[in-house]
Amino acid sequence: MQTGENASGEAQGVLGFDLDPVPQLSRVSFTVTEANQAAFAMVQAWPAWPAPFLNLVGPGGSGKSHLARIWAEQASAQFIGVAELDRVGTGQAAVLDDVVALDAHQQAALFHLYNRLVSGGALLLVSEQPLSRMTVTTPDLASRLRAVPVVEISPPDDALLEAVLRKRFDDRQLGVEQAVIDYILSRIDRSFSAIEAIVVELDRRAFAQKRAVTVPLTREVLAVLNQQFSFDI
């Protein structure tokens, strides 16, 4: 969404549609900080990985999928789902994003894919927890997952929190002043889910009330979200 000003300098109605935006997932829009620099460096090191497989781990909203998109671009990798493991052949590169659990058939398919890619190719497995902790009933697959190198995005530092907050505002075309950023960061629960909740609610209210995103509006939103997160308003 976008806002404008009239001749008196007051914010005009919010323009645009109340739609969930498509995030910008380019290399240029990815901010490297201490929290994610190890993960970024490992992704950028491809094809000089220690193995054809890499498990990228981090909490929801931490930029895992963004980083996976960056790697997919440089590796010409395809994104696949857990039901599409047989689509990847020897010598190909793929991203298996948001891995939570695998049924017996999917475990067998991943085991066979692992064996195919040993001869050439690469697979980036993206998950919130290391896949070595996932419940696996196929013993041979369990041993292979334990051998997959893991690189983690650490809990967010101040720089990463601000970068993610600004990016989520930019994704929604919400222009905000530094005062709004500072107000949120001084009161927010230090989690990516909290950032997402604040930005989504600010976007919704700004659109519905035809208001710009200001500190007063942010204060109102934080008061509402205080029931869900540990905000100090």
Residue spans of the domains in the chain: they are 37-152, 158-225
Look up residue 179 and give its amino acid.
A
Q: Which structure tokens are listed for 203?
A: 């976007």
> Edge-to-edge strand order for the sheet containing 53-57?
78-80, 93-96, 122-127, 53-57, 150-152
Q: How far apart are CA 10 and CA 211, in angstroms?
A: 10
> Structurally, what CATH architecture does the domain formed by 158-225 represent?
Orthogonal Bundle (1.10)
Which CATH topology does 37-152 take? Answer: Rossmann fold (3.40.50)
Give the predicted TM-score (pTM) of the model: 0.68
Per-residue pLDDT of the chain (233 residues; tens, 9 = 90+): 444 444 434 433 333 334 445 455 566 667 788 888 999 999 999 999 999 999 999 987 778 888 999 999 999 999 999 999 999 999 999 999 989 999 999 999 999 999 999 989 999 999 999 999 999 998 899 999 999 999 999 877 788 889 889 988 998 988 899 999 999 999 888 778 888 889 999 999 999 999 999 999 999 999 888 766 555 54
Residue 136 buriedness (CB in 10 A; 0-12 / 13-18 / 19+): buried
